[in-house]
Structure formats: C-alpha cells, structure tokens
Structure 1
Amino acid sequence: MSWLSNVLKRNSELEWMFDLDLTYETDHRAYLKKIALETCINFIGRTISQSDFRFMKDKKRQFNDWHYLLNVRPNTDQSAADFWQSFVHRLIYENEVLVVLSDSNDLLIADDFTREEYAVYPDTFKNVTVKDFTFQRTFQMDEVIYLTYNNEKLTKFMDGMFDDYANLFSRMIEVSLRNYQIRGIVNIDSTQELSNENQAKLQKFIDKLFDTFRKATVALVPKLKGFEYNEVAKGDNKGQSFEELMKLKKSLIDDVANILGIPNALIHGDLAEYETSIKSYVKFCIGPLVKKIADELNAKLLTKEDFLKGDKIEVRGVMEKSAIENANNADKMVASGAWSRNDVREKFGDERVDDPRMDEYVITKNYQTLDELEGGENK
C-alpha cells in the first residue's frame, strides 16, 4: 500500500525503528574533550590552590602586602584558592598565563593579550584584557608574572586524537541505540487507500502509541478492531554495552592524564595504588609546576641582590609530607645528628622556631648535644 510508505516517511519514530541511516557529527561529542581536559586540569588546579606562599628573609617568614595578595585575596573578585586554580587552568589549557598588577594593587589574570618578542630586549605585552576592560598601557616582562607550560598548546596537540575518539564513541552509541530499540509492525485491516483525513488520524494514534511505549514504565494500549501491533524484536545485550562506553571515556581521560603526568590510578580514585601514585604525582607533575611558579615569583618580586643574600619565596603545602605520618623518620633524622630539629621542621613544611636550642645537633635516643657527648661517656 502506497499510503504506508508515506506514513513511514513522515514518522520520525518509525524512521528510527526501521534503522534508517543516522549521521553524527564529531562536534556533538565535544563534551568528551571537555570531560577529559577539565577532569585532569582541575585535579592539578585543586592541588596547587592549597599552596602556601612564604616570603623568607633571614630564614624568617615576612608578612607583607605580597603575603596577603598571594595567600588571602589577590583581587576584589577572587579568593587565593580561586585565583590559583584559575591560574593553573589557564596555564595548562592555553599553554601560557599572564598576571598583571593593576593600579589598585590587584593581581589580575589576563583573558587576552598580545606579546611582542625581542631578541636582546625584554618582551612586552600590549592590549592586555581582563574581562571587558583593556589596559591602554604596555607592560614590560619584568612587570608581570608570565609562565608557559609546554612547547605546544595542549588543546591543539590533542585535537586529532579527540576527533578519532569522538568518531568511535558516536558509532558505539549509534550501535547501542539500534540494538536496544523496540521494533514493531502495525497491521491495519484496509482494502482501499486511506484518505488524507484518515491518514492523519492514524498517524496521530501511532505517534501517541510509540510515545507511550517510550516514556511509560507500564503502558496500556486499547485493542482496536482492524488495528494490530506486534513487536518483532526487542533490545538484547548484543553489541556495545554501557561498560564499554565508559571504558572508552576512561581511556580518553587516561591519555590526557599521561600527558600531564597524573597517574591513572590517582585520577580514577584507585586506592590500591594510592601511596605509589601520590609519590609519582608529586614528583613528576606537581613538582615541576611548583618550581616554575616559584622561579617566576622569585625573579619578578625580588631583586637579584636580595635573592643572593638568601631572601626567597617558597611555595609550601604541596610537596611536603605529613610530619605525623612520618614521625618515626623524623625521630631518626634528629637522633642521627644529621639534622637539627629546626631543619626537620622545615623539611616537613613547618616554620623554624626562634630558639637556639632547636638549632643544636643531638645524637642517640637520649637527645644529647655533641658537646655533652664529648664531655661525658667518650671523654
């Protein structure tokens, strides 16, 4: 019956059910790229946001305006944790980040800028834009905090890989949907071609029928004389399963994590390899990034003369181990006489105590000083 073909062509639900060709653009799977990048970048950003920036002078911490800007409130709109998380996100995602100091002494992360490079003179930054405001002045390299992450922009480097994953993921979803869809045949007792009015009524009833099957947990359909619906196939477990789709997404995240130096077990919360993963993460991912930030801050916020005198900016709170969890090791470090108690405090991220006795080197379990040991048993 020719009217049936017309009905099928106008019914989008029946087109799907009879496996007509479907086209998926890879742009529709852009969220795959977003998930992988955001998962890994935010993981690093949350880690760096816990850092404690210390201005050290004569081995004592200084509390000044820079301490407040870097640890409490960099600008009027961000806390320090938000600022450093945004800083790391832009650094990794855009491969570079620029921070300028405004006339009101706010640290601002630039959304856009133009860098002019020179061979023997410092580079300059023009058209620096923060939100909807563009600075009219030109910033010199020694006036800004500027970092680059790698030699190539991460998103550009991974575009080809994401296209392949998106194509594969789209095809897996297409196959899964077709394997799990409901197929049926509608038999109509008619010996003549239906009028346009009857076709419209039939079409409306069929649409309502399939909409009920798709949405309702329990669907009751009246049985009409001359109209019969029979399912010819139901969804089965053949083809791509949900677990396989999740494995593909996980594999994509793993690839991004490997590039950034994040252990796969750590990014997925696998506690079986937690200790090993943490050590690898801190050493090969966070360590180099903290070194980049510390070097830039020391170069831009301190003069060469002050740095050579021993003044420096330290980034603490991420690289250090817990003193409580390593109490036995701390005890051995002091008891061996290799480090003073202030040295050990410093290694575990605590500040030195202003007490000369804490700088003494002691040995053995009795915590004797070297002078006492020489004047006592061994004299």
Structure 2
Amino acid sequence: MGILDVILGRKEKSSVEFVLANATTQATMKNIALDTCVNYIARTFAKATFIKKDKNQKSVFDEDYYLLNTRPNPNQTAAEFWTQAVSNLIRDSELLIVCYQHSLFIADAFVKNEFLTGDEYSGVSIRYESLSRIFTSNEVVYLRNENQALDNFFDSLWCDYADIMGATIGAQIRTGQIRALWSVPSSKLDEKERKSQKQLRENVINEIRKSPVVLIPKKHEKDYDEISNKQATGKGNNVDEIGKAKKFYIDDVANVLGIPNGLIYGDFADNQKNYEIFIETVIEPIAAKLIDGLNHIVYSQSEIIAGHTIKMLGVRRRDMFELSSSIDKLISSGTFNQDEIREELGRSEIPNGDKYSHTTQQSLILIIASGNPLAFLFS
C-alpha cells in the first residue's frame, strides 16, 4: 500500500455506511463482518511460537527468538505484533515488516520500487513517523495476499445491501414512534406564514426520520390529535432482523476467507473437524508466507541450503490425553523421538529428548540371534 493509497483513501471507496443507533453513531456492516472474521484469523496467530532450527534441527534461542516471540519492538508484545501483521495482510492484501534499530515494525505506509536486482521500499512510515532511508529487500519482510474474490465481493454487493439494511433500520426507528396530526388555518396565508409552515413541516419530517419520539407544537388544544403507529403493533422485533442481517454479512465474508461458519459462532457440532479445516485452508497458507519471509531476512542462502529454518508452532489444538496412545506407539517404534513429538504439541525440548527408542531395533537383533521368530513376541 503506497502513500497515494492512504491519501486518496482507495481502500475505503467500497465502504457503505449505515445508521445503527443515532445521528452521531455510524458504522458499516462491512466493517462489522470484516472485523469479526479477520480478528478470528489474527487471534490464532497470537498463540504462535516461532522456533529457529539449526542444520541439525536443534532449537536455537537467541536475540531473534526474543524478537519473534516476546518483544518485537518497544511498543508491542509478540501477540499484539502478529495479530496486527496478519490483520494488515488480509485487509490491505499486503504487509511490510521492517527491521529497524534492532526491532521489528509494521509499516503503516510505504512505496514499493521494483527492480530486477531486488525491490526497494521508500517513504516508509511507522507509527506516523516517516523514515527518510530506503530499505532493501534483505531488510524487510514483504508479503502479498491476493484475494480477488474478496475485493469483488465488496465492490459489487455492499451497495446492494445498503438499501435493504437501511429499510430495516428505518422500520426499527419508526416502531412505537409517537406521531401526531395538527391542523393549520384554512384562510389565505401571507408569504411569511407560508415559509414558516414549510420550515415547520421540514423540521418535523427530519425529526421523524431520526428520532424515536417526536414532539410537535400545537396551535390550539382541539387542533392536535396524537396517533400511534398501529401498523407496528404485534409485529416481529426488527432488532432480530438486524441481527439476522449482520449474520448474513459475516457468513458471506467467512465463506470468502475460507472460515467454517460454525467456528465464528462457537458451535460445538464438529468443532474440532472445522478447526482442522480452518488451520489447513486458512492458517497454514498464511503461515507459509510468513515463514518464507522470515527465513529470507534471518538466514543467508547457504544457511537455508544447509538446513537452517524457522518453524511456527502452537496454532493447532492438541489433546495430549487423547493422543497418548498414539504418542507411545510413535516413540516406542523409533519412528520419532520425544522432542519431535513435543514440538508438534507446542512444547519445549527436554534433555536427551532427541534420542530415538531402540526397542524395535533390539527386538530385531534378538530374532536374528535366536533364530526363532517367536522370540519377538516375548522380547
């Protein structure tokens, strides 16, 4: 996102605002739905832990580990930082993380200058402070997250929904509203009186549109007759209709982003299955982009070829008690060691946890030595 995008507000052209409470409080159904879905994705990354691995796949705890998992910069915790990063990536379709003064910052605005030898980034603004220097591609993590379906969805449908939502809210404002009739003199009015009557009618109409209770002045007691909104009596509450409309928006955005709707509303039916789908189709593709970008600035080409890498852990929900039987089989068979299993569970390494079980190997040796295949059953 360049500076011109910020100045011209290009990302806001498709926004359609709706009156939700009163004349001073406005919001958009677009932002409600987008906030709900984007925040759900971003909060998942707040639980992530980034681990550096050397060429022997041993965990490395150094300054980079501290920046990635504790305090990326003086103003944000790691959870806050990654939540904002993922949110920006989805909302703006691009993200720029800058390495500046031994810290990691998310750029508010920047200009990308493309070159065959490596892109450069100028006009970088961080926390409303413009930086004069130019950053090379080796000093930043630049990610794109193209989602043409999401852009087309907002551009084509929000304006169509505006009329429907506006009518629903207008009906709610008029429900139970106090109205009144009053008579005006039938005699000929002069120019000044006509202007006064016209102004009064316009003021009353404006009040009826925005206020639940409208007070209308009366000229004589017998000239004033209060009436109720009888059409609204006994009908359904339009607040429920607004709630249904909001759910409709959220469902559409969730479908575009690939989030199972049940997760957004906390449904318990097939919750674990839906969560696994969410991780595989939404979280892991974004995580892969983040890992690639971080590897680019943390390691050199030779280090990556040698096996150095960064892994992201902690976003999957694992029940260790349900997996205990499978864990025992994986370790006892010698297929995985304890540290590899603990890593998948989001746990830290333990002393001698990188040693493999030799139970299977010892059993095979016993079979060969004894010459009796049944010996394996009693080993």
Q: TM-score, normalization: structure 1?
A: 0.76
- Output the CA distance in 2 between the equivalents of 1:94 and 1:228: 56
Q: Matched residue pairs, number?
A: 337
Query: In the alignment, what sits opposite 2:8?
Result: none
What code does the residue aligned with 2:17 have?
A: D
- Output the CA distance in 1 between the equivalents of 2:187 and 2:168: 43
Shift of 1:325: 3.8
RMSD: 3.8
SS in structure 2 at match of 1:137: coil
Query: In the alignment, what sits opposite 1:87?
Result: 85
Query: In the alignment, what sits opposite 1:111?
Result: 108
Shift of 1:319: 3.3
Shift of 1:249: 1.0
SS in structure 2 at match of 1:158: helix
1:339 and 2:336 aligned: yes
- Output the CA distance in 1 between the equivalents of 2:233 and 2:252: 32
- Output the CA distance in 2 between the equivalents of 1:279 and 1:67: 27
Q: 1:361 to 1:340 in 2, by over 3 A?
A: farther
SS in structure 1 at match of 2:320: coil
Shift of 1:39: 0.9
Q: What are the equivalent positions in structure 2 for 1:1-379 lying under 5 Å apart?
A: 26-28=16-18, 30-57=27-54, 58-102=56-100, 104-118=101-115, 120-150=116-146, 152=148, 154=150, 158-185=154-181, 226=222, 229-231=225-227, 233-234=229-230, 235-238=232-235, 241-319=238-316, 321-355=318-352, 358-362=355-359, 369-370=362-363, 374=367, 377-378=375-376
Instruction: Indicate conservation of the 8 Å contact 2:178/2:213, yes or no.
Output: no
TM-superposition CA deviations, 1:316-344 (whole Å, max 9, x none): 11136242342232233334554343433
Structure 1 vs Structure 2: percent identity of aligned residues? 31
Instruction: Indicate conservation of the 8 Å contact 1:342/1:353, yes or no.
Output: yes
Structure 1 spans left out of the alignment, 5+ residues: 1-24, 217-223
Structure number with bigger Rg: 1
Q: 1:90 to 1:291 in 2, by over 3 A?
A: same
What code does the residue aligned with 1:333 have?
A: L
- Output the CA distance in 1 between the equivalents of 2:85 and 2:366: 52
SS in structure 1 at match of 2:315: coil
Q: 1:150 to 1:373 in 2, by over 3 A?
A: farther
Q: More deviation in 174-183 or 107-116?
A: 174-183
Structure 2 spans left out of the alignment, 5+ residues: 1-14, 20-26, 215-219
SS in structure 2 at match of 1:349: coil
Q: TM-score, normalization: structure 2?
A: 0.76
Instruction: Indicate conservation of the 8 Å contact 2:173/2:212, yes or no.
Output: no
Structure 1 stretches of 4+ moved >6 Å: 190-197
- Output the CA distance in 1 between the equivalents of 2:94 and 2:354: 46
- Output the CA distance in 1 between the equivalents of 2:140 and 2:306: 23
- Output the CA distance in 2 between the equivalents of 1:351 and 1:135: 38
